[in-house]
Structure 1
Amino acid sequence: MEGIALLSPVFVLAACCAGVMGYAIRRSGTCMVTAIDEILDGRRTERLFALVEAGLWVSGSILVWRHLGGHTALPVGYPPSAASALGGVLLGLGALLSGACMFGAIARIGSGQWAYLLTPLGYFLSCAMFSARFGQRPPMVGGAPLLDAGWLIVPLTVFAAWRARSAWQAARRGELAAHVWHPHQATTVIGIAFSLLLILVGPWAYTSALLALAEGRHSGLVIKLALFAVLLVGAIVGGWSEGSLRLRLPPLADALRCLAGGALMGLGSLLVPGGNDELVLLGLPLLQPYAALAAASMALAIVLGRFLVRPQPTHAL
């Protein structure tokens, strides 16, 4: 990413991917909290499976790209630890407090819920305050286990062909736009756009851009922040296209809740290490054990938190 210049062809293409990704996040409503709410309240798993599918697209894209001789920088792994589990719990509690994970915050911003602008701000402030104490990365454990599971390229390619066939059938019926921007398929678009970003500029997640800014790491920072800005614009365009964008000041209580939730998620990401967007779109697709541990801890914290705060039924005397 260091050698990429603003307005270069590579950056312009990467910015297009970031914009599409932001638009898709808004259209899909992608969020771990929403996915778990859907399971607990609606007994449905569509959004959870959509998140899994986004990760599958990243896994398949990396394997195919490497098989074709392409090279891209991949994040190193870390050993699973108690810190990873605790970080996942803090990610879950922060998402529960704010009402959305770091993915979901982008979707909420896109719909004009401006209190969620304070979620990334809280994340940044937490990283800036605590990175010196909790931001020390554990010893690296080498590359990505996914690359040792090359046999997965066959089933993942078959899966991609099946999804492409569905899109082709929708196009023949004149329903391609409705098909692509259905919440489930929009999450697929997130995975594809992220995969292209990974190939073009290497590992990138907007939470990592905020962390780099908090820690004063200037290498590639302008590119990272520019992609973050385009991601936000894409989400806002998505909300505007749906007619859900509103210009109104958020209640103070909502603003403080989003700020505090973002701060908790920032601290959690330092311990994991990595934010929930990195876990879903990088760590889990690369089959990293520490990412699986942190994601499971995050999900468990959200589930337990939901049961604790859910109103208890009252019984007539």
Structure 2
Amino acid sequence: MLLTGLVLGIALGFAMQRGRFCVTGAFRDLWVTGNTRWLTAFLIVIAVQSVGVFTLDAVGVISLSSSAFPWLATVLGAFLFGFAIVLAGGCATGTYYRAGEGLVGSWLALIFYALFSAISKTGVLATGVSGIRSVTVEASTVHGLLGVSPWLMVTLLATAVVLLARHHLRKRPGARLATLPPRKHGIAHLLFEKQWGAFTTALVIAGLAILAWPLSWATGREAGLGITGPSSNIVNYLVSGDAEVIDWGVYLVLGILTGAFIAAKGSGEFRIRIPDAVTTVRSIAGGALMGIGASLAGGCTIGNAMVNTASFQLQGWVAFGFMILGTGLATRLFITGPSKARSARNAAARESPGQGAAALGSPTQTAHATRTSVRR
């Protein structure tokens, strides 16, 4: 039964790679352009999965439970995780599927993410993480806190997501880009060549996320999709050799990596790409902070913001919000901030050439700024 994790992971990695399903990009778009298309796709996954999860619970296939809400660790960890995914260039699953495409920066982020997840869960940081997570409140679910049926929450979420999706689907499409004639036909064309839409990809991922619940439960792992815990388990296995830590989730994340590689090779997108020094440092730092943040928060953008939200856990929805805030801060520091400063300097130079040159500084400073801009 453990092999079902591998099979589902391969399908998930394939879908994410072909659909370019990037949660980091969805969060970042909010702050850079205000575009909510990919965030809507992410919410589609949550809403559809929510219907499936509560149906499975109602018919007795799984049994949803809840525990006290570790609010402090969730807030701190989620904000840190959201900040880190901008540095790393992707969240947990994004790092896995980009590693499958051959991005060495993602390999580094993934290694340090798994390493610091293990350090935070079972290593030298475990005591501190456990201590912060012990600060809890009894409330655990949104519907429990409000005293309403979970199906009311499912209905409200589904309605909001349908309206958002309808809004985007009714927008006038932009100009179509010229494309080369297809080289593949039939299923091969659909799988490896044809562009996957954001909402189509979301529906595929939602179906896989629902399927993950009964498949995982059948092996004794009572959870849905999850990335942080399994990544930590891989490191613990490599260190201790304890085969008991190899569970359904470990097979899942190995499958994501494999599926992304298959998709990238089949579509001609696999290529080994070596990052520059700045990207290397950011990937390592981002991966390490992701591992710590996800361990504190009790999950990443999948385990918390996609899975725990579907069952309306307070931890999931609070983490979702603070991940977006953390992404916003990192976006301001590393993406929009420098570009706005450059735009302001360029505008000053156009208005008054002499003053603009003075504002830009000496030729040496200008050259250094140019090199810094290129590296960024």
User: TM-score with structure 2 length normalisation?
Assistant: 0.68
Q: Give the 3-state SS of the residue equivalent to 1:79 in structure 2.
A: coil
Q: What per-residue deviation string (whole Å, max 9, x for no partner) do you get for residues 215-264 of structure 1?
A: 67864524332222111111112222332111344445433322221110
Task: Give per-residue Cα distances to partners, 1:270-289, cap 9 Å, x unaligned.
Answer: 22122222112211111112
RMSD: 3.4
2:324 aligned with 1:299, yes or no?
yes
Q: Which residue of 2 aligns with 1:209?
A: 230
The alignment-based identity, stated in percent, is: 22
Q: Is the 8 A contact 1:17 1:194 kept in 2?
A: no
Aligned with 2:100 (options 101, 110, 114): 110
Q: Secondary structure of 2:302's partner?
A: helix
- Matched with 1:45 is 36
Q: Which of 68, 77, 83 pairs up with 1:93? A: 83
SS at match of 1:210: helix
User: How far is 1:306 from its partner?
Assistant: 1.5
**1:134 aligned residue:** 128
User: CA offset at residue 128 of structure 1?
Assistant: 2.8
Match among 219, 228, 252 for residue 227 of structure 1: 252
Residues 197, 34 of structure 1: alpha-carbon distance in 2 compared, 3 angstrom cutoff: same
What is residue 186 of structure 1 aligned with on the other side? 201
2: CA distance, partners of 1:158 / 1:299: 22
Aligned to 1:19: 10
- Structure 1 residues 247-256 or 235-244, which shifts more? 247-256
Asked if 2 retains the 8 angstrom alpha-carbon contact of 1:23 and 1:235, the reply is yes
Aligned to 1:169: none
The answer to whether the 8 A contact 1:27-1:182 is kept is no
Amino acid at match of 2:200: Q
**Gaps (5+ residues) in structure 2?**
170-185, 218-222, 350-354, 356-376
Partner of 1:276, secondary structure, is coil
Counterpart of 1:87 in structure 2: which amino acid? G
State yes or no: 1:278 paired with 2:303.
Answer: yes
Moved more, 90-99 or 40-49: 40-49
Q: How many angstroms does 1:101 deviate by?
A: 1.4
1:144–1:237 CA distance, 2 compared to 1 (3 A): farther
Taking the aligned partners of 2:160 and 2:26, their CA distance within structure 1 comes to: 22
Aligned positions of 1:4-15 closer than 5 A:
4=1, 6=2, 11-12=3-4, 14-15=5-6
- Equivalent-residue separation in structure 1 for 2:311 and 2:305 (angstroms): 10
Look at both structures and tell me which one has the larger radius of gyration over its CA atoms.
Answer: 2
Residue 213 to residue 146, structure 1, CA distance change in 2 (3 Å)? farther
- Report if the CA contact (8 A) 1:134-1:270 is conserved: no
Is 2:75 aligned against 1:60?
Answer: no
CA shift in 2, pair 1:112/1:61, >3 Å? same
CA displacement, residues 113-140 of structure 1 (integer Å, 9 cap, x when unaligned): 1321222211222123333223425369
Q: Distance in 1 between matches of 2:50 and 2:127?
A: 33
In the alignment, what sits opposite 1:149?
150
Gaps in structure 1 of 5+ consecutive residues: 167-173
Give the Cα–Cα distance (whole angstroms) in 2 for the partners of residues 83 and 160 of structure 1. Answer: 29
Question: How many residues end up aligned between the 2 structures?
Answer: 298
State the one-letter code of the partner of 1:60: V
Task: In structure 1, give the amino acid aligned to 2:226.
Answer: A
The answer to whether the aligner puts 1:35 opposite 2:34 as a matched pair is no
Could you tell me whether the CA contact under 8 Å between 1:22 and 1:233 is conserved in 2?
Answer: yes
Aligned AA (1:32)? V
Letter in 2 for 1:205: G
2:113 to 112, 123, 134: 123
Give, in whole Å, the separation in 1 of the partners of 2:79 and 2:160.
32
- 1:70 and 2:60 aligned: yes
Report deviation, 1:152. 5.4
Query: Residues of 1 paired with 2:74 and 2:162: CA distance?
Result: 35
Distance 1:134 1:213 in 2: 22
Q: Which whole-Å CA distance do the structure 2 matches of 1:215 and 1:74 have between them?
A: 28
Moved more, 145-154 or 222-231: 145-154
Q: Name the CA distance, whole Å, in 2 between partners of 1:190 and 1:140.
A: 32
Q: Higher mean Cα deviation, 284-293 or 180-189?
A: 180-189
Distance 1:59 1:146 in 2: 13
* Residue in 2 that maps onto 1:265: 290
